[in-house]
Amino acid sequence: MNTPGPFRHIFFDLDHTLWDFEANSAATLEDLFKRYRRHIGTETDFDAFYFHYSHVNKNLWALYREDKISQSFLRSRRFPEAFEKMGFTAQPWMDEFGDAYIKECPTQGRLMDQAIPVLDRLKEKYSLHIITNGFDETQGTKLRSSGLEPYFQHVITSQMAAAKKPNPVIFEFALQLAGARREESAFVGDDYEADVIGGLEFGIFTVFFNPDGKTNPLKSPEVRNLIDLERYF
């Protein structure tokens, strides 16, 4: 990598970096859980379901990222599998539950701590863009629901780039669309594999957003809170 900066463009990951995926997902699931009580019964505890769901979903996502399963397989399997772990047999209402989750989760607007004040500051100095592994429609809904949309000039999804982070193709696509050169670009993301390794291998200055203090073997620059981005930008 050439000496980075001065920066003109900052690219952000969306889920878990700006849009609080965990909180939005849990709120959607808890609401659906209440609405599906007639099927689920009164004995089943939401926290137990959430525990199983998180585990199943994480494993399916890992397979999806490695292109071993399709998104539709992931979406059709995660709820039946989570409920099966709790002793249920697969039922058609689980598909409806899954469809409602897909539709409703992106309409939630919770953001990571300090996201708005940080973006308010950065937008004065930099062109801001999103690089996200996801679908145009879903990610667009999240940006609108959360009030993030006006901050970003370009939103690059893996759907439009036909490649997922950490594949350099999506980074190349994003920089071209934004008219940005590598050495004047930086990237911020929370996923070590997709974002940090992806960004570093592509060759742009990459900040690991690491609120949980995960290990950082490549010693990438990192922040625990978005407010600490002021160290770099």
CB of 55 to Mg ion, least distance (A): 19
Applying CB under 5 A, does 20 fall inside the site for Mg ion? no
CB of 98 to Mg ion, least distance (A): 21
Applying CB under 5 A, does 123 fall inside the site for Mg ion? no
**Could you give the CA distance from residue 53 to residue 97 in angstroms, rounded to a whole number?**
13
Applying CB under 5 A, does 15 fall inside the site for Mg ion? yes
39 or 110: CB nearest Mg ion: 110
Q: Which of residues 79-98 bind Mg ion (CB under 5 A)?
A: none
Residues 74 and 106: beta-carbon distance below 8 Å: no
Among 7, 11, 13, 199, binds Mg ion (CB under 5 A): 13
CB of 225 to Mg ion, least distance (A): 16
83 or 192: CB nearest Mg ion: 192
40 or 60: CB nearest Mg ion: 60
The pair of three-digit structure tokens given for residue 187, joined into one six-digit string:
């990237």
Among 4, 8, 16, 168, binds Mg ion (CB under 5 A): 16
CB of 164 to Mg ion, least distance (A): 12
**Could you give the CA distance from residue 156 to residue 185 in angstroms, rounded to a whole number?**
15
Applying CB under 5 A, does 190 fall inside the site for Mg ion? yes
Alpha helices in the chain (DSSP H): 21-35, 37-40, 46-65, 71-85, 92-104, 115-122, 136-145, 158-161, 168-178, 198-202
List residues bridging with 209 in a β-sheet: 223
22 or 230: CB nearest Mg ion: 22
Alpha-carbon torsion (121, 124, 130, 136), positive or negative? positive
39 or 211: CB nearest Mg ion: 211
Stretch of 10-18, 123-131, 145-153, 203-211 lying at the interface with Mg ion (CB under 5 A) = 10-18
Scored b (16 or more CB within 10 A) or e, 53-84 reads bbebbeebeeebbeeeeeeeebbebbbbbbbe
**Could you give the CA distance from residue 63 to residue 74 in angstroms, rounded to a whole number?**
9
Stretch of 8-16, 34-42, 75-83, 157-165 lying at the interface with Mg ion (CB under 5 A) = 8-16
40 or 131: CB nearest Mg ion: 131
Q: Could you give the maximum distance between any two Cα atoms of the chain, in Å?
A: 60
3-class DSSP state of 97:
helix
Stretch of 16-24, 111-119, 157-165, 176-184 lying at the interface with Mg ion (CB under 5 A) = 16-24
Which residues contact Mg ion by CB under 5 A? 13, 15-17, 190-191
